[in-house]
Structure 1
Amino acid sequence: MSFLYNIGINLTGFGLKFLAFFNEKIKKGVVGRRNLFSILEKNLNEQDKTLWFHCASLGEYEQGLPVFKELRELYPNHKIVLSFFSPSGYDIRKNSPVADIVIYIPLDTKKNAKRFISILKPELSIFVKYDIWPNLLNELKARNLRAILISAVFREKQPYFKFYGQQLRDALFSFEHIFTQNEHSKTLLKSINYNNVTVSGDTRFDRVYSQLQQDNNLNFIDSFKDNKLCIVAGSTWPEGEKLITAYINSFKDKDVKFIIAPHNIKDAQIKNLSEKLEVSTVLYSNKDTANLSTAKVFIIDTIGILSKIYNYADIAYIGGALGNTGLHNTLEAAVFSVPIIIGNHYEKFPEAHALIESGGTFSISNQNEFNLILNKLIDESDFKTDCGSKNFEYVNKNRGAVIQILDYLRI
C-alpha cells in the first residue's frame, strides 16, 4: 500500500502541474511550492528552535488560532512555521502574526518529507482537524519529533477504518496524542487500537469567544445601521442570495437593514447580486462616497471583516447549506447572541444540529420557510432575543478545548 501511495502522490504532482495551466487556484499552489525549501533555508539556521503548525485551509487556521496564539506567547524565542495546503488559506493568512514563516506544505513525497523535516526539525508539530500526510508524519516519528492532532473529527467511512487504509492508520500513530471533538471519534480511534486520545471538544468555540474581547466596532456599519434592526447574511452563495433578494424586494416597507457578505466577491457576482435588488444598495468598495444611512442594503465586497459585522446583527443567515458547498461558520454569529437561519444540508456539521436542537437556529429549504421564520424573528422581539441567547449559551458551555491542549503540552 505504501508503494501505491508513493506512486500516486508523485503522479499527483505531475497532474497538478498540468492542471495549473487551466485552473488559477491550482496554479497558485504549484507556483507557491516552487521556492518553499529556499524560503525555509533562507530564514532558518541550525541554532533555531522551531514549532510547526499545519492547516489545510483558512477554516482550520481559524480553528487552531487560539492554540497558536498561546504557544506564540509561551515560546517567544522559537521560530514558528505555519503551512497551508490550500491557496485560499495561504493567500489570506500569509502575513499571520502568529508565525515567523508562512509557506505551502510540500507535496508529500518521501524525498520532500526528508528534506522538509531536515530543515525544520520542529520540537513540536500541530496539525488541525485533518489533512494527514503519511510521509511527513512518518519522518517526524522516525526522528522522535513530537506531533499532535487537535480538533479532530473521524467518521466510519474514512480510510483509516477500512481494510485498505493501513498507511493512513500508520500515519495516525505518528501523533503522540490526538484531541478529538467528540466521543464518537475517540471510539473510532480505539477501534484501531489508538488510545492516546482526549475528547477536548472543538477549539473553534474558544476562537469565536475570543472575538468578544476584541474591538468589533466598525464606524461605517454604525452609519449604515442607523439604529435600525439589521439582518446579516454571511458567506452567501447564489442559492441563498436568491431567497434574500426575493425577501428584500417583497418586503420593501419593513424598517429593516440588510448586510450581505457574499462568499464569492468577484465583480461579476457582485454586479449580478446588486442588479437583482430593487432597493437602495451600497457596496463596501464605494462606502466612502455613499450616503450609508439612506441605503437599505450594504453588500460587503471584501474579505476579513465578517466576524466583526456579526456584532451588528440582530438576525443572521449563514450561507452554504442550501447548496453543495458546505455550511459556513455558524459559531461566529452565535457568539454575539444572534438567532440564525441556515439551509437544510447541514448533515456533516454537528454544531448546526446542536444549535437547532437548542432552539436558537432554524433550517429552511425554500422561500416560504425562509420568509416565515424571518418575519417571526423580526416581528417578535422577545422570541428573537431568546433564540439569540440560546445560541450564545451553546458556544459558552462548549469552551475549554484550548486549556486541555495546553495543559497536556505543559506536562
Structure 2
Amino acid sequence: MYLLYNILLLVLALPILSGHLLYGLLRGRRRQGVRERFGYYGKDQLAFLAGKKTVWIHAVSVGETQAAVPLVKAFKKRFPDWAVVLTNVTETGHKVATGIAGVDLCLYFPYDFPWTIRRAFSQVKPELVVVVETEIWPNFMRIARLAGIHALLVNGRISDRSFPRYRRLKFFIKPVLQQFTRLCMQSALDAERVEAMGAPAERIEITRNLKFDMQTGGVSEQNPEAIRRKFGFPPDGKVLVAGSTHAGEEELVANVYRRLLKKQPDLCLVLVPRHPDRCPAVGELLSSYNLAYSLRSECGDDPALLTPGSVFLVDTIGELLQFYALADLVFVGGSLVPVGGHNILEAALLKKPVLFGPHMNNFKEISRLLIKAGGGLCIPDSEELFDAAAELLADSDRCQDMGAKGYALLQDNRGATERTLQAIERILGDE
C-alpha cells in the first residue's frame, strides 16, 4: 500500500505541486512556508526545542486549530517542561496558531513525501504526535511509528460525507489507522465508523468533543459597549453577525439584510467571510446591492460611527469572537451552501442565539444538540433566515433565553480535554 501511495505521490502529486508553486511565483504569489513544507527549518526556530521533550500537534486549518486550544493550554499546564510544536497546512490556520498561548513553535506541516517527513522528524524530534480530527497522512504516520513515536488521534470525527469513501478505500486506510497508539473519538458513532475503517477496537475510546471546552480568551469579560465603541457601532442599534460565510451565502445574507432593514431600521450587519482574501469580491457584491460597507482593516483607533443600514466587512483573522460578543443575533455560514458548516458553539459560548442552514455535516451532532437544547435554529433557506431573524431581532427576551440555553449546553458537555489528557498520560506512562 505504501509503495503504491509513494509511486502516486511521485507520478501525480509532485508534478502538480511543482507546477502550482511555479505558477504562484510567476504570478507573484509565493506560497507561505515553502521551506518548512519541505522539512527545512532554521536553527533559530529549533533552538528552543534543544534538551526538551516535545509534543508535535497537527491541526490542518482554523477549525481544528481552535479545537486544539483547550488541549494545548491544559497540556502545557500538566507538562510545563515540554515544548509544544503546532503545525498547520493552511495559511489561515497558521495565523491563528501563532496567537495561541502555550505554543512554543508554529510551523507549516511538511509535504507527505518520505524524505520530507524523515527530515522533519529528525529536526523536531518529538516524543509524541497528536493529530487533531481526521488529518491522516500515510507517510507521516508510518515514519512516526517506525521511529518509536507514539501517535494519538484526538477529537476524532468521521463525517457522513467522508465515511462511504473511507469504507471503499479500507485496504488503504486500515494500515494507516493501525499506526495510531490511541484514537480518541468524539462520539459512539465516530468510534463505530473508525473501527469499521480498520482501526483496532482496543485502541479506540470516546472522549467527546474538544470544542465544548472552548474558552473565550477574555472576550466574555469585556464590556459589549466597549467593543461597540472600539469598532464604531451605534450604542443602541441592533447587530446581526454573519460569521464564516462562503461564496453563494453573502448574496443571500445581503438580500435578507436589505429586507430586515424595513422592519429594523437601526440594524447593522457584520459580515465575516471564512476566507478574508475573498473580501474584495464580497465588497463588490455589497456595492451591487447598494449597501455601503467599511473594512475592519481600515478601522482606526477612533473610528467614525457606523451608519445603520451599512455593513462592517471583516477582512482580518482571529477576531470572530469579538464580533459575536457584540451581536444580538448570529448566523453561522458554510451551512446554506454545501460546505458542511462551521463551529456554532463559538456563538453559544458568548450566550448568543444562533441560526444556521441545513448543511451541517461537519457539526451534525453539535447542531442536533444545540437545536434540542433550544439554543439554535436550523433554517432551510434564505426565506426562513429572514423570517427567523426578523422574529428574533424583535424579541430580545427570546434571544437572551436562547443564548442562555446554548451556553448551558456547553457547560453540560465539558470534559473532553481532561479525558484526552488522561489518554495522553496513559500513553506516556506506558513508556
TM range (shorter): 0.7 to 0.9
Contact 1:316 1:339 in 2 (8 A): yes
- Could you say what the CA RMSD is over the residues aligned between the two structures, in angstroms? 3.0
Match of residue 37, structure 1, among 36, 40, 44 = 40
Bigger drift between 191-200 and 63-72 goes to 191-200
Deviations 1:266-325 (A, max 9, x none): 452243144145466443234336531544432223222111211111111111112233
Bigger drift between 327-336 and 37-46 goes to 37-46
1:73-222 map, 5 Å: 73-94=77-98, 96-154=100-158, 158=163, 162=167, 164-191=169-196, 192=198, 193-208=200-215, 215=222, 219=226, 221-222=228-229
- Deviation for aligned residue 1:30: 7.2
Match of residue 416, structure 2, among 396, 401, 404 = 401
Matches of 1:221 and 1:106 in 2, distance apart?
41
Using the size of structure 1 for normalisation, the TM-score is 0.88
Deviations 1:348-392 (A, max 9, x none): 422223323333322334342222111111223333232222222
Contact 1:53 1:81 in 2 (8 A): yes
Matches of 1:6 and 1:41 in 2, distance apart?
32
Give unmatched runs, 5+ long, in structure 1.
Answer: none
- Deviation for aligned residue 1:5: 0.7
Gap change, CA 1:338 and 1:217, over 3 Å in 2: closer
Gap change, CA 1:194 and 1:214, over 3 Å in 2: farther
- Deviation for aligned residue 1:41: 8.4
Contact 1:216 1:309 in 2 (8 A): no
Bigger drift between 151-160 and 1-10 goes to 151-160
Q: Is residue 2:269 matched to residue 1:258?
A: yes
Matches of 2:118 and 2:303 in 1, distance apart?
56
- Deviation for aligned residue 1:108: 1.8
**AA partner of residue 46 (structure 2):** N
Contact 1:248 1:277 in 2 (8 A): no
Matches of 2:165 and 2:261 in 1, distance apart?
53
Using the size of structure 2 for normalisation, the TM-score is 0.84
Gap change, CA 1:218 and 1:103, over 3 Å in 2: farther
Gap change, CA 1:238 and 1:14, over 3 Å in 2: closer
Contact 1:96 1:102 in 2 (8 A): no
**AA partner of residue 189 (structure 2):** H
Gap change, CA 1:352 and 1:218, over 3 Å in 2: same
Q: Is residue 2:296 matched to residue 1:284?
A: yes
Aligned to 2:238: 229
Contact 2:186 2:209 in 1 (8 A): yes
Gap change, CA 1:295 and 1:371, over 3 Å in 2: closer
Deviations 1:218-250 (A, max 9, x none): 845234141333211112234332233223323
Matches of 2:14 and 2:356 in 1, distance apart?
38
Match of 1:394, SS state, is helix
Q: Is residue 2:31 matched to residue 1:28?
A: yes
Deviations 1:42-99 (A, max 9, x none): 6257634222111111211111111112222333333322211223322443464433
> How many residue pairs end up in the alignment?
411
**AA partner of residue 79 (structure 1):** A
Aligned to 2:429: none
